[in-house]
């Protein structure tokens, strides 16, 4: 069997395990006190918990995670356009949970940092010496009027939910021409490129299906730029112009009117500021507003905006020395992506293990590295890599990554998912920094 086939078979096996009821080691009787408690078993939580559990030994690390399924969400752009199957984006949580960690299958309801405890939704208290918060971002579906009840119906969809991502593919294929709208909110979101990637993929499909002439495509963003970093924004604008994709700035989706099939936008700037804009739609891909999770916002851990308030270099909490955070729920002022977490987790683990073992080794510092593979077609991509701190590109390869390429498309679609499952969430992938050095691009 080839390596690729064997990887595919093992993924299929693991995907099937999602429905398995076989008890795992994680289900056994659990203590209520741990060296480290990790809140969240997503991309960030697992990449940290794996290494810590391996280093600190059995039952020293607990991961509080309510979900039965772990998703590799970056694949949802490909799932939404029919280029990957949904099953390839998920694994049973029991299969990805580090073997030496204790999985506490519940949610954290509140934090008590002065007593070194977290309280679970079931009322139980868990105590810790060190806490790592990695609970992700909260998707606020209810903030768009009528979105929760219209999602997945009559052409309204979103790649931002496991429940609707397959509907995106279905609705793109069923589309017969008309008005297609794609939205991006003014709030912080995870993967700021994903709202437009699906537009490029849909446009390509409609062009190939011969219905492009009957189709008007509009992208509405609550922001004033198509992408934060000019080097990539300039290329994206050229693509939009060449492919007749109309970009509308400072417009935030506020309401969906399913009966008349209309989308209502708040205008946030310019002469029309404060007014609304109403457009008919035949296809509507929504990226909902997002924000800090409510249970973090209401806790002493949060900053004024609700994110876990950490030092942007060391990832240590600004008030509580034995607390760290990373990933989408953190206050780190960079673009929220799984790619960013690869660099953040290495820094966090270095600094936290230094605390535990009292080592005097150098404190590691995060430089804001993040990346967004901007898929622009079913065989090409712009691989944006940059620091959210400096606002400058931080590219890995010795070529201009702002140009559309097949090589970076293949890397993103076929190679990075394997790195994710086999290395990143196992704690052994620290991101591409060493390759940047190797290629001399650092």
**For ligand FAD, which residue of 15, 49, 97, 108 counts as binding (CB under 6 A)?**
108
How far, in whole angstroms, is CA 137 from its chain's centroid? Answer: 8
Kindly state the tokens that stand for 185.
């909110």
Residue 112, interface with ligand FAD (CB under 6 A)? no
Structure tokens at 366: 């995060």
Of 116 and 261, the one with the shorter C-beta distance to ligand FAD is 116
Q: Which is nearer to ligand FAD, 218 or 334 (CB)?
A: 334
Query: Whose Cβ is closer to ligand FAD: residue 45's or residue 388's?
Result: 45
Please give the structure tokens belonging to residue 352. 């936290």
Cβ contacts of 431 within 8 Å, gap of 6 or more = 339, 342, 343, 346, 369
Q: Which stretch binds ligand FAD (CB under 6 A): 30-38, 229-237, 336-344, 399-407?
A: 336-344
Instruction: Give the total of residues touching ligand FAD (CB under 6 A).
Output: 36
Smaller CB distance to ligand FAD: residue 83 or 279? 83
Question: Which residues are known catalytic residues?
Answer: 191, 372
* Choice between 222 and 327, CB closer to ligand FAD: 327
- The Cα 89–Cα 153 span in angstroms is 23
Contact pick of 150, 159, 387, 408 for ligand FAD (by CB under 6 A): 159
Kindly identify the residues of this chain, within the stretch 39-78, that bind ligand FAD according to CB under 6 A: 39-45, 64-67, 73-74, 76-77
Q: How far apart are CA 152 and CA 425, in angstroms?
A: 30
The encoded tokens of residue 130 equal: 């060190």
Q: Which residue is nearest to ligand FAD (CB)?
A: 42
What are 341's two structure tokens? 């977490």
Under the binding rule (CB under 6 A), the answer on residue 384 touching ligand FAD is no
Alpha-carbon gap, residue 136 to 304, rounded angstroms: 17
Residues 6+ apart with CB under 8 A from 59: 30, 31, 34, 100, 102
Does position 263 bind ligand FAD by CB under 6 A? Answer: no
Cβ atoms of 118 and 37 closer than 8 Å: yes
**Residues of the shown chain interacting with ligand FAD in the complex, contacts defined by CB under 6 A:** 39-45, 64-67, 73-74, 76-77, 107-108, 134-136, 159-160, 190-191, 194, 293, 295, 327-329, 336-339, 341, 373
């Amino acid at each position: 069997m080839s390596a690729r086939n064997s990887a595919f078979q093992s993924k299929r096996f693991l995907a099937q395990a999602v429905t398995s009821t076989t008890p795992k080691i994680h289900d056994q009787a659990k203590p209520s006190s741990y060296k480290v408690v990790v809140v969240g078993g997503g991309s960030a939580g697992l990449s940290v918990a794996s290494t810590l559990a391996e280093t600190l030994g059995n039952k020293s690390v607990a991961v509080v995670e309510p979900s039965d399924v772990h998703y590799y969400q970056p694949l949802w752009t490909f799932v939404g356009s029919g280029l990957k199957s949904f099953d390839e984006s998920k694994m049973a949580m029991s299969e990805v949970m580090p073997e030496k960690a204790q999985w506490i299958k519940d949610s954290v309801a509140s934090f008590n940092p002065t007593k070194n405890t977290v309280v679970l939704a079931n009322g139980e208290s868990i105590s810790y010496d060190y806490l790592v918060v990695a609970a992700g971002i909260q998707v606020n579906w209810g903030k768009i009027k009528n979105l929760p009840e219209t999602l997945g119906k009559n052409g309204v969809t979103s790649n931002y939910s496991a429940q609707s991502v397959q509907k995106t593919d279905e609705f793109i294929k069923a589309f017969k021409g008309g008005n297609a709208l794609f939205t991006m909110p003014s709030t912080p979101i995870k993967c700021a490129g994903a709202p437009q990637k699906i537009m490029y993929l849909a446009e390509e499909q409609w062009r190939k299906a011969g219905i492009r002439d009957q189709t008007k495509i509009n992208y509405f963003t609550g922001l004033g730029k198509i992408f934060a970093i000019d080097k990539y924004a300039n290329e994206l604008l050229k693509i939009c112009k060449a492919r007749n994709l109309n970009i509308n700035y400072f417009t935030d989706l506020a309401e969906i009117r399913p009966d008349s099939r209309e989308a209502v936008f708040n205008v946030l700037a310019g002469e029309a500021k404060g007014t609304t804009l109403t457009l008919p739609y035949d296809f509507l891909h929504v990226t909902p507003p997002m924000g800090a999770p409510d249970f973090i916002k209401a806790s002493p851990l949060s900053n004024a905006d609700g994110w876990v308030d950490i030092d942007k270099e060391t990832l240590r909490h600004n008030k509580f020395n034995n607390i760290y955070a990373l990933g989408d729920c953190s206050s780190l002022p960079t673009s929220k992506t799984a790619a960013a977490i690869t660099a953040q987790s290495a820094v966090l683990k270095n600094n936290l293990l230094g605390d535990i073992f009292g080592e005097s080794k150098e404190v590691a510092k995060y430089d804001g590295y993040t990346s967004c593979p901007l898929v622009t077609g079913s065989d090409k991509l712009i691989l944006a890599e940059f620091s959210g701190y400096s606002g400058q590109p931080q590219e890995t390869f010795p070529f201009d990554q702002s140009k559309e390429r097949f090589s970076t498309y293949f890397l993103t679609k076929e190679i990075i998912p394997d790195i994710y499952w086999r290395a990143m969430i196992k704690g052994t992938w620290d991101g591409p920094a060493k390759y940047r050095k190797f290629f001399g691009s650092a």
